[in-house]
Structure 1
Amino acid sequence: MQVLNQITTAPRRTLALIAAICVGMLAFGMYLQYVQGLEPCPMCIVQRYALILVAVLAGLASLKGQSGWWKTFGVLALLASGFGAFVAARQSWLQWNPPEFATCGRDFYGMIENYSISRAIPMIFRGSGDCTAVDWTFLGGSIANWSFICFAGFSVLLLVLLLKGGKRT
């Protein structure tokens, strides 16, 4: 109960913490890509964009003192976090239940360069052989599993903040 009180009585700090965790997760993703040599799949890239959105929106919500300002950006951050959780859950499902015939798909930028947006966006969410690969694990969970847990945690925190509507500190 004390933790819940701390979260709801200091929403600016909680929102800033969410933004900082998102930035840390993005930095870790860059480390895995550029230092460890792991190539992100289209679903990983979409999750990165969702992380960027959550970080920016939560950061903006933590800056202003007006209730309407932080609640508006909080709702938008909640939507972005829910979207990220959906994509991470879908990728986790694909990793647990890989399709019989996995083909290696194009990367996100290759899709955008060679196809119209109306054709590229559905291709991103179809998943490819790359999206089913588990190249890195921590405590038995893949990147997609941990990403889902983080997005779900952000969603719960944001929902608690919005429903409790804590005072500004």
Structure 2
Amino acid sequence: MSRIGNKSILVPSGVTVTISDANIVTVKGPKGTLEQQFNEVLDIKLEDNQIVVKRPDNEIFTRKIHGTTRALLQNMITGVTEGFKKQLEIRGVGYRAQLQGKKLVLQLGFSHNVEVEIPANINVEVPKNTDIIISGIDKAAVGQFAAEIRAFKKPEPYKGKGIRYVDEFVFRKAGKTAK
């Protein structure tokens, strides 16, 4: 029994949802449009401003994708109404970030600057040279881009230098002790 999959999704006013026969769902809202194709095994219906996801049987595969499909639909609706945001912070002497057009330039202690091309559906802000705010309507794209930026210099446990999420806790280790 899927607790998440059985919940209906309320469609807010100002959002239009169209569902085709091949389970291609298009969600249009004030922030933009998202489209995704879901598995045809599931039955996705729009009834009285609510999206209901039902599964035809209790096969293992359909049970697996039932809750996932419902969560993805909820994320699409949240994305076109509110959007998603990830905040990164850079720690380290001389480490900084800046925007140059559609590129994010990072100085992370390497002999060269790291230049990252910003995807079309993502907005990046650099309010301070040590803070990066990534926002967009697609939750997966925002999270993936934030993870790619973080992967350039992950926070290390001894001095805590690197790129980390704002709410991330980095476990600090003690260094070597002198005799």
Per the TM superposition, whether the score is higher than 0.5 is: no
Q: TM-score range by the shorter chain?
A: under 0.3
In the superposition, the TM-score normalised over structure 1's length comes to 0.26
Does 1 or 2 have the higher relative contact order (CA < 8 Å, sep 6+)?
1
The answer to which structure has the higher helix fraction is: 1
Q: Would you tell me which structure has more strand in proportion to its own residues?
A: 2
